[in-house]
């Protein structure tokens, strides 16, 4: 399995509506990108100070399938329309397991 992880931090001015739009937008992706075998996302639970604000874990059969997701126009649309306007910081990694 090839796994892609992204942790996102929002700007202080991000509204609850804007944060909810990220989750709603990303939740559409498994329906349009069949390469997404597992897609578990959500806002940070708030139990640890200093955490980032939102987590994305996406599992694929291969690195090639990950790249389909990475470059998919619907995904890029969510990034441009609802993530980038409130993005303060982004950290990522991919690994096989």
Chain residues that interact with its own copies, rule: CB under 8 A: 2-3, 5, 7, 40-45, 47-48, 50-55, 57, 63, 66, 91-97
**How, if at all, do strands 87-96 and 2-10 pair?**
antiparallel
Pick the closer one to its own copies by CB: 12 or 93: 93
Pick the closer one to its own copies by CB: 5 or 11: 5
Pick the closer one to its own copies by CB: 27 or 34: 27
**Least Å from the CB of residue 32 to its own copies:** 20
**Least Å from the CB of residue 72 to its own copies:** 16
Q: How many helices (H) and strands (E) does the chain have?
A: 4, 4
Q: What is the largest CA-CA distance in the chain?
A: 37
**Least Å from the CB of residue 1 to its own copies:** 8
Q: Which two tokens stand for residue 15?
A: 């509204």
Cα(57)–Cα(69) distance, integer angstroms: 12
**Least Å from the CB of residue 43 to its own copies:** 6
Cβ pair 66, 94 in contact under 8 A: yes
């Amino acid at each position: 399995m090839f796994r892609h992880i992204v942790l996102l931090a929002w700007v202080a001015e991000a509204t609850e509506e804007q944060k909810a739009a990220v989750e709603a937008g990303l939740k559409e992706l498994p329906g349009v990108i069949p390469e997404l075998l597992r897609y578990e996302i959500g806002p940070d639970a708030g139990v640890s100070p200093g955490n980032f604000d939102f987590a994305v874990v996406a599992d694929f059969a291969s690195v090639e399938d990950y790249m389909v997701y990475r470059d998919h126009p619907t995904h890029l649309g969510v990034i441009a329309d609802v993530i980038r306007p409130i993005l303060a910081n982004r950290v990522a990694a991919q690994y096989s397991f």
